[in-house]
Amino acid sequence: MSARDDIYTGIRRSLGVAANDSARREAVRARIAEAKGGIRPVRGEGDLEQRIATFSAQARSVSATVETVASMQEAAAAIAAFLRSHNLPARLKAGGDERLAVLPLDAQGVEVSTGISDGSDLNALSHAEAGVSETGTLLLVSGAHNPSTLNFLPDNHIVILKAGSIAPVYEDAFALVRARYGKEEMPRTVNLITGPSRSADIEQKLLLGAHGPRRLHIVIVR
């Protein structure tokens, strides 16, 4: 018997229940399924235009840059323009997300390589699963299609976010992830990213890029 089994056995003994008590198991499943949601902050609510506006304002308030475009073709042009405006090389490291494959970056003169980052990449490109209007937060999941190293190692992180994936609150954003992946295929890691990396640990002076990207650029695609 493992240590965990020993602990569970002791708990069951104190409650006077058996391990195979199907009635108790069903009661727990029903309680989880019927659980009511918590309080929803009003700030993130509204129609799509209101959610885009609130998300953008909240993201900019924590030093991210945001622009909204009509299509993935315009997104590619926006990415190239961002790299030029900061005098960055026209090279990106990206995951194998099929949603990024439709970006015509080659037509913009931007070279894209795929895979994890070893720390030498200056620029990274990711696709967010969702955004949270309430706080301007991006929700990114891990996997071969979106390595978590891209979220933290490169200096500049560019993230594509579909406008329809901007949820009012965190609970709705997680629901979008569950709906896409399903119970048996959930990603191992979910990263919530609000603005570029920052720290004020040293003399209370704000420093961007302390533990990750110093720039976060979000391209919202309608």
In the numeric block, which tokens belong to residue 96? 């194998």
Indicate whether 197 pLDDT > 80: no
Tens of pLDDT, residues 22-46: 888 888 888 888 878 788 889 999 9
Q: Where are the domains of the chain?
A: 3-33, 42-221
Strands 123-127 and 156-162: parallel
Superfamily (CATH H level) for 42-221: NagB/RpiA/CoA transferase-like (3.40.50.10420)
- pTM value is 0.83
In the numeric block, which tokens belong to residue 41? 């902050």
- Which amino acid, 176? L
Residue 19, Cβ density class (10 Å: 0-12 exposed, 13-18 middle, ≥19 buried): exposed
Give pLDDT, residue 64. Answer: 96
Tens of pLDDT, residues 100-114: 999 999 999 999 999
Indicate whether 199 pLDDT > 80: no
Helix (H, G, I), strand (E, B) or coil at 2: coil
Tens of pLDDT, residues 84-105: 999 999 999 999 999 999 999 9
